[in-house]
Structure formats: structure tokens, C-alpha cells
Structure 1
């Protein structure tokens, strides 16, 4: 077994980004992949196919592609998880910092390539932040583990959290702690899988700003696996497009975004700044809002178009009957010291039939707690929660499931049987619902999973799993359907499939509530937005009202969709919510320049 030599300095010296295409291998490669193929046990085709890829030292690389394109499998070869942990048929070679990953162990490679998982909470195994960050250097016997710990905490601006318990952290803080634990081993490369999937927009941007700082100031090569093209365009220096187990190309970010149609075809939607500047005929598309505004201003129409359709203007007098209500609800959790940390404070809400409600706010604002109170999984410490006229204190959660269905953020938690059909049938069969078999077949057709009905739900792609969990919820025939982050970690096709199904629920579900950080979903689907902040309702508005009031977004740490931010900077009123609405205010090129129907 080869021993990895110690890194001569805490961080490698930055090198200038090569002027040639990143995939040419010029400059100083830190990762070199040659003729790599890999097949998981029990499968009949290679997951990775003849991959050749070079990543230069000091690059900030976004690895993109649709669900199932093998992005994560490729990146797991950088730190040896493939093939040393996820074993299978491995051919070719991967070198990181000059070390052959086949000849080294995962432990040895951890000082070369650190990895922050998509489910980063599972990486936190020690009680306090200081213990967590120090655990790696201690396990490797580094005498300077204290210095390494303080250095990593300072780099990410979280030294003030050193004595906090990890379970007290917000999602954004926990993500930074997982990253700090990786940095304490002083790797040359840091791989971050879906860094923003479970974070509110403001904390997501903070993560990327920290990664950019590590890249620019310390020369660390950063590799992110990402679906959010807005962050890719603004922060990445190069982009690897994966499809069917191999790179399609590896290009500087400007060239990659100029190929927006090809990205769209592979499940990566063009950011609004890109699609709109392409629509007005820009030779080089804008990569962010600030650069898009001056490019679009000369193309504003002299006469404004008709006002946008009133998607979201139903007032209280036009609402349907009350499906659920909360009165004087207070709830909180005991800390390790025994005091009560409030999560929801004196909450009064009515949810009405026919409403599509988006529940938004920062990590820790109380969104998931509110949903669990509505299901009866928890009862409030004080106050009353009523669902279809039933006090949740008077019924068990199992009995309330006849009226309300809650779909977890992580779909794997919804799969209890060995096939999708059996999971969808579990509730109606257990309740001996008349016509249960016909109901299951109807639901399978409704969510488009007839051909996958005999598959184990845990073996499906991310988008298929989301459809299956919606099927489980629909089979319960609830009056109130609650969905926690239904579009996180999905590529554009899967995300649009889920949004399409949500749109079609009106004839099945009386009221749907979605807790989400996805502001595009909020803008295009919701009829009502409830903004939670520090346990209270900060605003109860329509999407257009929300994004037209920057003071609410700032206080709740929301980031409106790019189109709304661009329109606000251009002074357009009423505020367009989508690129399609904003495009109506612009003199554009031929409609063939439209990006996937989004602009």
C-alpha cells in the first residue's frame, strides 16, 4: 500500500486558471482521470464509461448533468470511495495530487481530497463543533490538531460556534462544520455534493461565498456537484457536463453558459440572466443579475405589455372553506440545559380549500414543526390545531392520516415495502378501503409509474422517488397534503415533473402546502405564501406581493428568483415573477431563441 506523503504547506499555492480549455490537461493537473470505467455489482452496464478528465490545480469546477448521469460516482473516485468502499468492476486510473487512488486507501486519500456529502448531517459524529473538526487530525495523530482545528474554523468564519453542540446548529451552520472538518486535514481538493440542496437561499449563497474564498485565497481546488445553474454561473470557473456515464465536455464557465441549450437538454435549466440576455441577442450571455441588467435595459419596450394574469389575487372573502386552523399555537423543544427553546410563537392561521400554499423561511424558522403539528405527529405545548374540524389532541397521528398526509423531505423514508405498488397500496389496503386495488392502479397511472410499479422505491432515481411518494400520499386520499422540500436535489426534468403533478392535484386534494426553499416553485405554483421568521408569521401574501417587497425578503433571508430581481432593478411594475413574464417587457430576437420554453 502506497503511503501518501505529507503536504509541504497548509494549503497549495494558487495557480492561474489555464487559458486553454480545462479539459486539455495543460497547466498543473491536480486530478487526472484516464480511461476510467466502473460498474456496480449486479448491474448489466457500466455506470462510468471510458472517462478521460483533467482538473487543474486551483480550479473551481461544477460537475453537472441529469439525475443518473454518474456525477456522484465520478466524484467518489477522487477520494477512493469508489472502488474501496463502493466496490465493483474498476478499470483505468485516477490520480489525485499525483497519487494513484487504486493503490491508496480512503483514509490516506483524505489528506488529498476531502468530501462533503449531500446528506452532510450524517458526517457529524462528535458532540461539539470543536470535537467534530478536531476528530480527523486527532485520528491521524497530527500533533498540531488544535492549530488545524482553529485554522479551519477561522477560515469559514465559525470560530464562535466552537463550543456549540452539533444538534443545536442550523442547516447552514452544520454544513459549514462538515466542511471545516474536511479542511482540518488540509486537503488539496474539496468535493461538495449538492451544497445548497437543503439550505435556504441566503445560506446557500453563504456556502458558495465560503467555497469561493477557499478557492481564491488558499488555492484549494473546489469541485461541486450541482443542479442550480444560478450558482454555477456566478461562482464556478469551469463546468464538466456529464451524460450517460461520461463527460460531454469540460469548458470555462462563460463558454459553458453560452451553450445553455445543451445544458438545458441535459437537465440544467439556464438561469434567467442567461436566458434573457440570450433572448435579446447577446453574443456572450450574462452570468449574474448585476451584469444582466445593463445588457437588458436598452431592450425595454416603450409601451408596457398587458398586466400579468392574476395568478395570485384571491382575497380572504374569496377563499374556500377552512381545511385546517391553528389558534394561539406555541411550541418548542427542550435544550440540553433543560430550558425551552421556542420554535413557534402564538401562531394563528387558517388554511382554505383550493389554496396552494408555500411555506417559506430560513432553516430553523419552524416550517417542518408546523407541518408535524398539522399531522398530529406532535401536539402543541399550548393552543389548538384543528384539521377538517378534528382537534389533533383528540386523535392519534395514525387516525388523522385519514385526513392529512405528510410527505417527508427525504423520500427514502416513505418506502416500507419491497415494491412501489406495495408502498402505494399500504394505506388503502390496511384501512380496507373499498376498491383499494383500483385506487392503486389509478394512482400509479396518475404519477406515471406503471412501468416501475414492481421496482423497490429505494432503487429509483430522485425524480422517480418523488413521484412515488406523491403516489403514496394520493392513495391516502387526504383533504390536506403536506410536502416538505419536494423539489430539492432534482434536475430540471424531475423538478418540472413534480411541479406538474402538484398543479394537477386540485381535483384530488382540497388544500396543498409545500415547505420549500425553491423560490422558482413559489413563484410559479403557489397562490399564497406564508413567511415564517423566528417562529412567527412575518408575512401572509401572494408571490407577487412577496417578491415586490425587498424588506420582507431581507428579513426572512429569502432570495427572489433572478427574473424578479432583474425586473426590480429595471423598475418594472407590476413585478414579473418569471423569465417568461419579463420577456414580454423586452424587444427580443426571434422566438426560436427561447430557452426550453422558460423565456
Structure 2
């Protein structure tokens, strides 16, 4: 380890107890002090395990087979406890809500410095909150915060320890696009103003392009390479092989001007296209969709909310009227706390509205128990592991048709396993699978239920890009078996590529009922509800395309006349 290295791993290997293969295999890696490094790779490549070796959770907490050496800020992690290493390495976990252990924001941020007896604990916590712009929330209870505010609170608690390294696992997995940008801006600010080394585990290449300075590619438990960000993102084919397709602006410019430098921002891409003398022609029209069929679910005058710690009702939905129809692929979008998950739970009957009525297939949800509605509506949770009740994938998928005594239950299960490429995992416990495999399993549970209405909460969160694209394709394929699908999501690319209808929630109401092109063409609406359109839509808008393109194919098709006529 050199003076300029803050992290050095040499020959690092680790096998979890009972695992057939090591998760890490002879990892050699150096990260320079003050770097902003993104660790990428497909689900199951070893990213999180590698980063947990930096703060000593491996091997001090996960006591598997460990070999090799990891040195962080001059300390061998084998010679220091997890508590001692927390002064040098801060970690913001993917499930960051579990890190919040004190009632108020101020108390939670000060928790580490106070418990280590640091005399300047007040100054440390106040400074961390100020740097991240959450000092105005100091007196708030942590359960009153939005997801984005909770994430920044967890980060402030780490920052108050003034570590040399901060690791953030999936910084944007559960945040709306605007809050995701804010989180990355705060990380960049900490990196610049304090010189703190930032390591992020990330699947979103567009954030990597704008914020990281170097990229580590993990594959099958080893480091494939560690490169500067522009060089890393220029290896498009290799990244795609590992489930990380290039950002949309890189893919688009590579098709139009193959010899250009790799653009890291929309502005760079737009400049390169203009300098090449290319101008878009008429935009490709939106595909024609079939008119919606009969109403599957209806909300009439629905108002709902929850009591806060002061016993006051906080209204989440107010006098909402909606009809969801057969053949529709509906995306629910809006800021954290806009009411997306609440609306889904009302449709299942798990919650009943304080005012108004909810009907599914003509049945008032107040009149029957949720278990009876399960024949008509299926709700797939945001976290797949919450769906698993049995010892194997096959049993999970078989549970509903078997309990309902469907005569064709066995053939249904085999068909679902085959459709979702789960046959090889059929006898595995779902909780032992990768995130992408778990998500496919929950889709299998829903498909085997064959409901009229399928509801999904953030189905692509925390998935690598290749698995995420698989999920989009599988959702599209469900149309032949399920009459209406509703997805609550922060994934704007999913909205662009899959949805036929978009419901924008905000201020307890439906602010817009539109199409993907209508949403992304309305800059004022997007800004009002903290939505950031897909990169390719932003690039199209920058180049004067209206409506904005929804995919790379649609974007490049608009340049076909210019390319055919020569430059």
C-alpha cells in the first residue's frame, strides 16, 4: 500500500458459510485517497461482499473462510474491530432505514460520536447536517422523514465520524429521480470539500458517468479492471457482457458519430452531434395502442391518510377518481411520499379508504376480506423476500393454485417456471437467490395466480441493467395472461419503454393522466413532481425534438434522413 492509497486489497478471498463457491476470489485492488469510485457488475458478482471487507464486517461479522489482506487508511482490517474501523470507513447500507436508531434526526446523526465519547460530538453532528443541507430537520422524528431525507440522515451519521472512506450501497435504489440527483450531489460535495474517498455500489451508469472518477468492474468474484470513468464507459461491449449497457447518450452518439469521444453528460452529447453537422428530422410517432377495454378497477372519491405521532391525520390521497381498464399498462409516478404504495394497497383491500369506494372487478373492497380479493388482484411487494413463505421456488409458485385446488396446478407451475427461466432454480429456497432471480420468482407467483389486476411496487429497484431489462420484457409478456398491470416506480426508463398510460401523483391528487411522451415533454410538470426524464428524452429535447424520444432507437431513427444524405 502506497501513501496515496486509502484502500488496498491483496489476494482477498472469501467464502460464505455453506456456499459451494467463494464469493471473492483473489481480489487485488487499490483505491487512491480522495477518489470517487464506482463498483459495478452484475447481480452476484461480489460487489457488496468486497465493500463489506473494507469496514471489517467481513470477516469479523460474517465468519466465513477469509484469506488475503485488506488495508484501509493504513490499518489491516484483521487487526481492528468493526467499531475501530468505523472511524476510518463509514457505510451507508442499501436498506438505510435500518441504520436510523434514535428518535430525532439530531440524535441519530450524533449517535456515533456520542457513543465513542468524542468531546466535539455536537460540532461534528451540526457540521454534517449543515454540509448535507438537513440542519432544518434536526428536531424532526426520523419516521416523519421522506425516503430521501432518511437517506441523507444516515449519510450524515456516517459523516459525523469524519471517516477517510464512505461506502454507499445503491445510493439511488429507492429514491425518486430528483432526490437521487441530490444524493449524488451531496456525495460529490463531501468528496470535494472534505477530501473524503467515496465508494458507491451502483447499477445506474448515467450517475457513474456524471459523478465518478474511476470505475471498478467486478465479475465472478474478481476485479476485471479499475479504470478512469471515461475509459471505463468507452468499453461498451465489455460492459454489456456484464449486464451494464452503456448510458443512453453514449449508445446514441456511438451510432451517429462512431469516432467521437465518449460523452459523459447530455451537454457533451448534444455538442458532439451539433459539431458533426447532424440535425434530427421529424420525430418518430408514438406506437398506436389498442383502446382500453372494460374497467377492471375503479376509485370513486377516495381519500386516505395516516395518523402521525401527534394523532393528526396526514392526508396522502384526497378525493381521487380513477378507472383502470383492461389492456392498460399503467405506471404510477411521483415523489417519495406521493401516495403510490398507498394507492396499490387500497386496490388490494389491505387498506380501505377513509372516504370513498374502491372496486375491483365490480367488488367493493370493503365488502370482502383481502384473501378473497386475491383471486382477482395480486400485489408484489417492493422487497421480493417479503413474498417468500416456502422452502423452494416451485412451492412458492405452486402455493396459490394448489390452495385454490386448481386441477391444472401442476401444469401451471411448470409453464411459469419455463416462461420466467426459473426451472434450474425450482428446488432452491427463494431467499438464497440473487436479486434478479428473486424478482423473477415473485413475478412467477403473480403469473400463477392469474389475477385480473397485477400490482407491482418498484419491480426494477436494485437490479443490474440486464436483469432490469429482462423484467421489462417479462412485464410486457404478461399482457396475454393478466388483464391490467399497474407499476409504482421511480424508474423513468421503465416508464418510457413499457407503459401505455402514466398517472402522476402529487399533493394527494392525480396531477396528470398522460402518456410517457406527454409526461417527458412537459418540463414544468417533471420539475414540479421531482421527475427526471430518461437521458435520451432530455437529449432529444436539447436538440429540439418534440415530442421527446423515448428510446435510443427512436432517437437515432430521427437522424436517418441526415445520415442518408451524408454530412
Matches of 2:2 and 2:86 in 1, distance apart? 25
Matches of 2:285 and 2:246 in 1, distance apart? 22
Q: 1:89 to 1:533 in 2, by over 3 A?
A: same
1:292 and 2:265 matched: no
1:507 and 2:480 matched: yes
Structure 1 window deviating more from structure 2 (277-286 vs 127-136): it is: 277-286
1:236 and 2:212 matched: yes
Residue in 2 that maps onto 1:329: 302
* SS of alignment partner, residue 319 of structure 2: strand
Matches of 1:511 and 1:452 in 2, distance apart? 28
Q: Is the 8 A contact 1:311 1:527 kept in 2?
A: no
* SS of alignment partner, residue 481 of structure 1: strand
In the alignment, which of 14, 35, 40 is matched to residue 59 of structure 1?
Answer: 35
The runs of at least 4 consecutive aligned structure 1 residues that moved more than 3 Å come to 298-303, 587-591
Structure 1 window deviating more from structure 2 (32-41 vs 185-194): it is: 32-41
Residue in 2 that maps onto 1:260: 236
Residue in 1 that maps onto 2:104: 128
Q: Is the 8 A contact 2:296 2:453 kept in 1?
A: yes
Q: Is the 8 A contact 1:418 1:457 kept in 2?
A: yes
Q: Which stretches in structure 1 are left out of the alignment for 5+ residues?
A: 1-24, 592-599
Deviation at residue 104 of structure 1 after TM alignment: 0.6
1:166 and 2:142 matched: yes
Deviation at residue 156 of structure 1 after TM alignment: 0.6
Q: Is the 8 A contact 2:297 2:360 kept in 1?
A: yes
Deviation at residue 572 of structure 1 after TM alignment: 1.4
1:403 and 2:380 matched: no
Question: Any residues of structure 2 matched to 1:302-313 within 5 Å, and which?
Answer: 304=281, 307-311=284-288
| Offset from partner CA, 1:98-119 (integer Å, 9 cap, x none) | 0000111100000000000001
Residue in 2 that maps onto 1:207: 183
Q: 1:158 to 1:574 in 2, by over 3 A?
A: closer
Matches of 2:369 and 2:458 in 1, distance apart? 25
Question: Any residues of structure 2 matched to 1:506-585 within 5 Å, and which?
Answer: 506-585=479-558
* SS of alignment partner, residue 394 of structure 1: coil
Deviation at residue 438 of structure 1 after TM alignment: 1.9
| Offset from partner CA, 1:518-554 (integer Å, 9 cap, x none) | 1110000000000001211111001111111111101
TM-score, normalisation: structure 2: 0.97
In the alignment, which of 385, 388, 393 is matched to residue 412 of structure 1?
Answer: 385
Residue in 2 that maps onto 1:470: 443
* SS of alignment partner, residue 466 of structure 1: helix
Q: 1:27 to 1:308 in 2, by over 3 A?
A: farther
Deviation at residue 496 of structure 1 after TM alignment: 1.4
Q: 1:588 to 1:165 in 2, by over 3 A?
A: farther
Residue in 2 that maps onto 1:438: 411
Q: 1:29 to 1:589 in 2, by over 3 A?
A: farther
* SS of alignment partner, residue 393 of structure 1: coil
| Offset from partner CA, 1:160-200 (integer Å, 9 cap, x none) | 11111111110100000011111111111000000000000
In the alignment, which of 375, 392, 401 is matched to residue 365 of structure 2?
Answer: 392
* SS of alignment partner, residue 77 of structure 1: helix
Residue in 2 that maps onto 1:9: none
Deviation at residue 27 of structure 1 after TM alignment: 6.2
Structure 1 window deviating more from structure 2 (187-196 vs 256-265): it is: 256-265
* SS of alignment partner, residue 346 of structure 2: helix
Q: 1:553 to 1:425 in 2, by over 3 A?
A: same
Question: Any residues of structure 2 matched to 1:52-201 within 5 Å, and which?
Answer: 52-201=28-177
Structure 1 window deviating more from structure 2 (71-80 vs 254-263): it is: 254-263
Deviation at residue 66 of structure 1 after TM alignment: 0.5
Q: 1:57 to 1:587 in 2, by over 3 A?
A: farther
1:226 and 2:199 matched: no
Matches of 1:215 and 1:589 in 2, distance apart? 43
Q: Is the 8 A contact 1:530 1:537 kept in 2?
A: yes
Deviation at residue 229 of structure 1 after TM alignment: 0.2
